[in-house]
Amino acid sequence: MSRRGRRAQGEGSVFRRGDGLWVAAIDLGWIDGKRRRKTVYAKTEREVLRKRDALRTQAARGVDLSAAPRTVSEWLIEWMRDTKGVDGTSPATLARYDQVIRCI
């Protein structure tokens, strides 16, 4: 276990679980009346610190870490609209793609 001592405010928590897995969490603040945290896991302390620092960098850049992940269907609809809709794909192909996306 790390012998570092207490971390600075806002730095996030890092600890080792009983099963040996390392955990790092950063505080995202209060969202819709609930405290939100983003948590990452790794087998080594160094790796979990790297992941935690990547999260902190994303948060500093303005990435919404509290947003729910997109589903495959949502991503495919976006792909149809932004990529296939403007690259000259035939209307019949687009209609078939749309039918397949809506069935999944």
- C-alpha 50/C-alpha 65 separation (Å) is 17
**Domain spans in the chain, listed from the N-terminal domain onward:** 13-61, 72-103
The model's pLDDT over 34-88, given as tens digits with 9 standing for 90+, comes to 888 999 999 999 999 999 999 999 988 888 888 778 888 889 989 988 998 888 8
User: What is the reported pTM?
Assistant: 0.59
- C-alpha 74/C-alpha 80 separation (Å) is 10
Q: Which residues partner with 15 through β-bridges? A: 23
Section 13-37 average pLDDT: 90
Encoding tokens for residue 57?
A: 């960098």
